[in-house]
Structure 1
Amino acid sequence: MSETLQTADSTVVVSDADLLAGTAAAVREAGAALRERFGEVVPYQTREELMSALAANDDTALRILRPRLTRMRPDAGWVEDELDGGALPAGEWWVVDPAEGNVNHLHALPEWAVTATLVRDNQPVLTVVHLPMTGQTYTALAGAGAHLDGRPLSVARTKDLGLSVVATSQARPDEDEDVVRRVGSSITAMLFDALVVRVAVPATLHLLNVAAGRIDAFWQFAGARADLLPGALLVAEAGGRISDAEGRPWTPRSAGFLAAAPGVHAQAVSSLSS
């Protein structure tokens, strides 16, 4: 699909593929800036000190991302809070997580990323997830597949949940008590039904592994657009199934999320529904 971008001098036709390339360049640049800040564990003693350290990382990446992405799509909205959920108003929106897995970055753990997703009328159109510690960049364009550094991705061909590696993640700190209990019971169910259960943040990194065929399913209860939309598009474009935890169509309003290889999706739904 092509979109028309009006500049001061002329009208330029910009394809979604060109937007993806420009987005990838901006996300890589932001990742490089965050990598320069990575190293020692960042000390904090209070919630206020923690929030300040998280905000410093976010601000470092956003100083690069926001002007670059806004320049490409000046009429697109901008989701201010990466923890927000639910549907967006009509039109185009940038859904960005400037430091996905930010708390890992602060703790000198390498599992963090920078993500940017363009959403059009509540459908993700393109996404970029860059892993600065490995230099890898995952991209997806609606209808054009998912790729890792230009190489096509495809989900696993596993057909038996009992032979599967599955994963889940904590949606956010201070989660609602009912959600916390549901997460706990779902992990117990999967410990019985799957081969191996992985539990860690952030969600996006698990979803990259589903898209790449390294693990077979990922689920989460609650959650924000910024930690689910990039991976949802990647998995769908890699041939995976996306639903809520009960197997119904997933939307950002859904209380649960499941991304799985087609061969184990129904078994994962059964396990989570039990």
Structure 2
Amino acid sequence: MSESVQTTGIAATGTSAEADLLAQTADAVRAAGSVLRERFGDVVRYRTREELMSALAVNDDAALEVLRPRLALLRPEASFVEDELAGGALPDGEWWVVDPAEGNVNHLHALPEWAVTATLVRDNQPVLTVVHLPLTGETYTALAGAGAHVDGRPLRVSETEDLGLGLVATSQARPDEDERVVRRIGASITAMLFDALVVRTSVPATLHLVNVAAGRIDAFWQFAGARADLLPGALLVTEAGGQISDAQGRPWTPQSESFLAAAPGVHAAAVTTLSR
């Protein structure tokens, strides 16, 4: 068993049974997305951290009420990751890694950058993933060995070969990062401002990663991060022909302290910039 996400196919080529499972997973994720779309509109006001966490939990619970039982029916033997913010390797076997409201804080602020995601992980390798954007209706899917798609259309990373012409992006893994990580994020943004054409900084990570897979953004990096933040995009980018590593160019695993997804033509240059 390998715990790293490879750059040329993550698991065995997708079978017809897994392709059907992917389609049914997409249906489940879209159903959960419909619930959040109905809840979207006005800015949700909060005055304390407790009120914020409560509002976030309400969205999560509303989506999970639809999503979790459907995924359990699709794969009864698969376990369910309870903590969407957790990182590190999983025990062997199959696991559903979901984020019922990826970019939840954006949803609360009536901003459009949020999604619902579900990824099936087998022995620490992502097998399939679905990322649904309820406001646009787009559904991004990837099946290990069978490519990445948006609404059935193939995805391909960009052909950019010069980081100086590249659009790159980063995100913070969580609001309460420790000082070391915060300073590392700041230094990396400064370095990229010198070396790339444009730097975007926003949450959530997954929406940057679908743009890398679609060739709209040339590279994305992040320090630390939860499995639910990075596994969907890791599979999408890999299956779209991109390269995945940590910020130093080493194989990425859910235990890594950094993450980099890039078009092959700018990956090495991005590693150089981030390794300063």
SS in 2 for 1:15: helix
Counterpart of 1:42 (choices 16, 41, 44) is 44
CA distance in 2, matches of 1:138, 1:169: 20
- Give the corresponding residue for 2:210: 208
- Give the corresponding residue for 2:112: 110
Contact 1:79 1:95 in 2 (8 A): yes
- Give the corresponding residue for 2:61: 59
The residue identity in structure 2 corresponding to 1:157 is E
What is the Cα-based RMSD across aligned positions, in Å? 1.3
Moved over 4 A (4+): none
- Structure 1 position 126 matched with structure 2 position 128: yes
Identify the structure with bigger relative contact order (alpha carbons < 8 Å, sequence gap 6+).
2
Counterpart of 2:191 (choices 176, 189, 192) is 189
CA distance in 1, matches of 2:13, 2:26: 18
SS in 2 for 1:89: coil
CA distance in 2, matches of 1:122, 1:15: 20
For residues 86-105 of structure 1, what are the structure 2 equivalents within 5 Å? 86-105=88-107
- Give the corresponding residue for 2:6: none
The residue identity in structure 2 corresponding to 1:26 is A
Contact 2:209 2:261 in 1 (8 A): yes
**Percent identity of the aligned residues?**
80
For residues 19-30 of structure 1, what are the structure 2 equivalents within 5 Å? 19-30=21-32
CA distance in 1, matches of 2:48, 2:16: 47
- Give the corresponding residue for 1:8: none
Kindly state the Cα deviation for residue 2 of structure 1 after the two structures are TM-superposed: 10
Q: Deviations over 1:210-230 (max 9, x none)?
A: 000001000000000001000
Contact 1:2 1:15 in 2 (8 A): no
Kindly state the Cα deviation for residue 241 of structure 1 after the two structures are TM-superposed: 0.2
Size of the alignment, in residue pairs?
265
The residue identity in structure 2 corresponding to 1:115 is T
Counterpart of 1:231 (choices 233, 237, 246) is 233
SS in 2 for 1:156: coil
The residue identity in structure 1 corresponding to 2:245 is S
* Structure 2: gaps (5+ residues): 1-11
The residue identity in structure 2 corresponding to 1:136 is E
Kindly state the Cα deviation for residue 15 of structure 1 after the two structures are TM-superposed: 1.1
Kindly state the Cα deviation for residue 73 of structure 1 after the two structures are TM-superposed: 0.7
CA distance in 1, matches of 2:189, 2:150: 29
Query: Rg bigger for which structure?
Result: 1
SS in 2 for 1:118: strand
CA distance in 2, matches of 1:76, 1:2: 20
TM-score (norm 1): 0.95
- Give the corresponding residue for 1:79: 81
- Give the corresponding residue for 1:246: 248
Contact 1:2 1:16 in 2 (8 A): no
Counterpart of 2:149 (choices 135, 147, 150) is 147
- Give the corresponding residue for 1:166: 168
CA distance in 2, matches of 1:205, 1:117: 15
